[in-house]
Structure 1
Amino acid sequence: MRTADHEVVIVGAGFSGIGTSIRLTQAGIHDHLLVEEGDDVGGTWYWNTYPGVAVDIPSFSYQFSFERRTDWSRIYAPGKELRAYADDIATKHGVRAKTRFGTRITGATFDEDVHLWRLETSAGDEITARFVVGATGVLTQPKPPEIEGLSSFGGTTIHTARWDHSVDLRGKRVAVIGTGASAVQLIPEIATEVEHLTVFQRTPIWCLPKPDGPLPGAVKWLMGKIPGGDLAARAASQAFVEITFPLAAHYSAVVPFGKLGEKAGLRALQEVRDPEVREKLTPKYAVGCKRPSFHNSYLQTFNRENVLLETDPIARITKTGVRTEAGTLHKIDVLILATGFKVFEHGNMPPFRVTGRDGLDLEAFWDEHRFQAYEGISVPGFPNFFIVLGPYGYNGSSYFNLIETQTRHILRVLKRARAEGATAAEVRREANDRYFHAMLARRGGQIFWQDSCAVANSYYFDAHGDVPFRPAPTIETVWRSLRFDLDDYAYTRAPVTADEPVGAAA
């Protein structure tokens, strides 16, 4: 019988894939392969290079605990520095040597007879693996708007997630569709160079002041030289992040950040001079219903004479521009789609077809039973398949905390399988159900269930009306990754196999 090509295949070489690879290597599981669609590591920071792209939490939290950096140029680092950080740690830990670039996984099927995953690739070949880790994240698949005539536009069209640096916007008439996080960063950057900018807004966004600024060299020097200086900066950053999202979102009655945020947002809106424009920019839903943005010049951009905010719905896109329902035609040269990503839509969760035991399709399972995964990682019926950013895994803290928490969980399961000589580890249905019902029972205190959220058009909500965030403080997610019951998984051996026991070659 053919053995697996690799013990573990990691799908994606963004920070989730990089972190998983590092932890596997440190645990002695060297036989693993990363498969990455892009030509290099970085994930989000490889694909997103639009003007103004930056991290939206303090940089001291947006990094691995075991690879701390103190030389960020700003409190909120620009995208190029995050890309450089990914490059550096991938080089240091030999991740590139384990990565197959320029390849997309298009399907995964579990072979029950031999307990292997058979992975189909965009190159037309097959890779087999004992275990698979989905590390593709959710903000990876660009979501073009469903607007009539989009393909008929005669000028240049760019999506923010696939920026074309060969396009010169100077002196051009430009339109931006969308006012989400990417648009908030992009719009102030390009408004100063274009001839005219029209921003098409469907739903206004809460834009809060950003506690950002350059990090003086003396501060960076002190953090690097004083014992524990970098840890103190990280602790302060972590506390800020915890208060402003995990605690505020999941315990809104106890931590009233939403109300404080709304006051700060309304004060910031006063910087918009035109009262009619200010009213259009004012959200009609509470802070927290959808992802707020943090920026110190986005709102003021609408004071510029060459910037127009258009809130009349788009009827269609023509060869020369964008026509609204009222009949106004905005003639443009460049159309920028700041319309975000697929999140809970088909084709992204998961981003490739996954077929488990008895032909069970993961997307169909979630359609029927709602999004769910034990500890945000494993789904019954899909042995040896783990997801770094699965439903009810992310609590709103730093993605790096999520990566470290989930990889710790995965490694505990792999080590248990190794100890038992098992070729399959599958979460028990009763354990998954227990976790799912516990998550639902906690959501009453979350900020997302305010009445005004109905008009927010938030990607937080899936097709079932759920918000699959993990309602827990960060310390609980860490503790659970260390203490969850390993017997919540069933460990079995393939009926016919020529493989050595799990990890025997490590």
Structure 2
Amino acid sequence: MTTTRTTALIVGTGFGGVATAIELRRSGLHDFVVLEKAEDLGGVWRENTYPGSGCDVPSPLYSYSYARNLRWPRRYAAQPDIHAYLERTARRFGVLQHIRFGQEVTSAEFDGGTGEWHVRTASGAEYVTRAFIAATGQLSRPALPPIPGIGDFEGTSFHSAEWNHGAELAGKRIAVIGTGASAIQFVPEIQPAAAHVTVFQRSAQYILPKRDHAYKPWHHKAFRVLPILQTLDRLGFWLYAEFAQQCLSKWRFFTPLFERQTSRHLREQVADLELRRKLTPDYALGCKRVLFSNDYLPAMTKSNVDLVTEKVIEVTPRGVRTADGVEHEVDVIIYGTGFAAQELLAPMRISGLDGRALSDAWSEGARAHLGITVPGFPNLFLIYGPNTNLGGGSIIYMLESQARYVRDAVRILAGNPGRYLDVRPVAEQEWDTEVQTRLARSVWTRCSSWYRNEHGRVVSNWPGRTHEYRRRTRKVNLADFRVGAAG
């Protein structure tokens, strides 16, 4: 077994992991390693290569504040452009030299005697580090639904986040299970060539128009000559997103404004009254993720598309059976069923002080002070941890805030050999009580969604504005921590 010693170790090379690596380098710390299980960086933007994959946040805001891209092809960037931007930015800031690809972390154990983490990978390598930074995020592990018979299907099947680009879809009968953010992007792409598409919908979605357009050469020239134009575009959407986030978490009296927009969008794009009824949500707007699309609703009106709202009860060798007893025979099944967002850091086995497993500490749901630190797990820092997701806005803004906070913590550790930072249980409890109390007043407690776990606890979302979160994570408050001594 090879052992590597380092001051900090980051797991994951999505936007969060890269942001943290950049912050460490900008602060003058170069003694760190980044582990990535794949052979390329990119996180969800490496993995989600399905047709139509792209972002629903305008590209000027969906980028690092210190690494603007003045040549985005579109206002809403597509997956290849986002992935290329992240790779280019990592190279520009010297992050690539720190990454070790093909290294999947299997376990991490804290040694109170030395104040260090022992991190092991599937390849047999061991890393000993003072700061263990998990940047695997909330949306990294595709989730298949618990439907009986999934393994019995004799045709082709795959999850949208693991798109089978070798699968022949033209002229095929395709079942799409799930109608979330991925499905509304790939359904319009596969519909034209398919013989038939059957979309199985558990619940309808609120869909807003996507104000997208290609950037012309004159746009790019204007951005180069007057970069403030892109800054103003970024600022404008950030302010709008802050307003939307506040509406979802607190200012509920503004909800009808958004509901009218989604209703008008549906009415304008779907003339058939029965289909429109099926596509009308029966829960509060914002309780599930609000989606943006100009072509999903028109695709649902095509003659080769059926929308099925009966519950899926079984996958058979020949297709999908619903609660009304109908077996829908298909050649291909595509699961657009999201991610295991509640299982943060899984399948890594993580043990803190006295060998306590993180899975035991989180038996009723993941929780962390500022979404970053967990009592009893010293020098463990989470990026895109519990209660840091957004109902609206750019998650990159939140990731930057967390990366700066972690940078501050690592600098403290680097300046104090033999010490470790363990967040005080009272600090974490006060934070959690505040967050959950605020969330109880939000729209996210009003239905079942991936934001909540089986205990009804909202594990994913942050209840305030991103500006508030940035202010509260501006620097490490040592009063929130027990500064322990190794040995």
Q: TM-score, normalised by structure 1?
A: 0.92
Q: Is the 8 A contact 2:8 2:410 kept in 1?
A: no
2: CA distance between counterparts of 1:314 and 1:48?
25
Residue 371 of structure 2 is matched in structure 1 by 376
Offset of 1:421 from its aligned partner? 3.4
Give the Å deviation of 1:36: 0.9
SS in 1 for 2:252: coil
Aligned: 1:389 with 2:384:
yes
Deviations 1:149-183 (A, max 9, x none): 11111111121001111122111111110001100
Aligned to 1:458: 449
Where structure 2 has 5 or more consecutive residues not aligned to the other structure, the ranges are none
Kindly indicate whether residue 252 of structure 2 is the aligned counterpart of residue 253 of structure 1.
Answer: yes
Letter matched to residue 322 of structure 1: V
Partner Cα distance (2:265, 2:62) in 1: 26
SS of the aligned residue for 1:181 comes to coil
Deviation at 1:490, TM superposition (A): 2.3
The Cα of 1:417 is off from its aligned counterpart by 2.7
The aligned amino acid for 1:265 is T
What pairs up with 1:198-237 in 2 under 5 angstroms?
A: 198-237=198-237
* 1:377 Cα offset (Å): 0.3
C-alpha distance after superposition, 1:306-351 (max 9, x if no partner): 0011112223212221122222222211110111111114xx4444
Alignment correspondent of 2:483: 491
* Residues 92-115 of structure 1 deviation map (CA, whole Å, 9 limit, x = unaligned): 123222111122111111111111
Aligned to 2:407: 411
- Residue 355 (structure 1) shift: 0.6
How far apart, in 2, do the equivalents of 1:26 and 1:13 lie? 17
TM alignment of 1:1-80, pairs within 5 A: 5-80=5-80
Aligned residue in 2 for 1:482: 474
Distance 1:266 1:229 in 2: 32
Of residues 259, 278, 281, the one that matches 1:280 is: 278
**1:192 is the counterpart of 2:192:** yes
Quote the residue 1:336 is aligned against.
334
Q: Is the deviation greater in 411-420 or in 178-187? A: 411-420
Which residue of the partner structure matches residue 501 of structure 1? none
What are structure 1's unaligned runs of at least 5 residues? 496-506
- The alignment partner of 2:474 has SS state of helix
Range 84-93 or range 179-188, more displaced: 84-93
Specify the code of the residue in structure 1 equivalent to 2:389.
Answer: Y
Deviation at 1:4, TM superposition (A): 6.1
Paired residues in the alignment total 483
**Amino acid across the alignment from 2:361:** F
CA gap of 1:253–1:323, structure 2 versus 1, over 3 A, is: closer
Shift of residue 251 of structure 1?
A: 1.8
* Alpha-carbon contact 1:420-1:491 (below 8 Å) kept: no
Counterpart of 1:398 (choices 379, 389, 394) is: 394
CA contact (8 A) 1:262 1:286 kept: no
Cα gap change, 1:149 to 1:409, in 2 (>3 Å): same
Q: What CA distance in whole angstroms lies between the structure 1 residues aligned with 2:345 and 2:34?
A: 19
The percent of aligned pairs where both chains have the same amino acid is: 36
Report the Cα offset of residue 392 of structure 1. Answer: 2.5
| Mapped partners of 1:122, 1:221: distance in 2 | 48
Counterpart residue identity of residue 475, structure 1: H
**Partner residue, 1:168:** 168
| Corresponding letter in the other structure for 2:249 | H
> RMSD of the TM alignment (CA)?
1.8
Once the two structures are superposed, residues 280-301 of structure 1 have per-residue CA deviations (whole angstroms, 9 ceiling, x without a partner) of: 1111001111111100111111
SS at match of 1:482: coil
Farther off after superposition, 122-131 or 299-308: 122-131
Instruction: Work out the CA distance in 2 between the residues paired with 1:109 and 1:405.
Output: 27
Deviation at 1:81, TM superposition (A): 0.5
Q: 1:153 to 1:350 in 2, by over 3 A?
A: closer
State the secondary structure of the residue aligned to 2:271: coil
425, 430, 435: which is aligned to 1:429?
425
Aligned to 1:262: 259
SS at match of 1:238: helix
Question: Match of 1:163, as an amino acid?
Answer: W
> What CA distance in whole angstroms lies between the structure 2 residues aligned with 1:343 and 1:444?
20
Residue aligning to 2:98:
98
Structure 1 residues 319-358: aligned runs within 5 Å: 319-345=317-343, 348-358=344-354
Query: What letter matches 2:106 in structure 1?
Result: T
> Is the 8 Å Cα contact of residues 178 and 199 (structure 1) preserved in structure 2?
yes
What TM-score do you get using the length of structure 2 for normalisation? 0.95
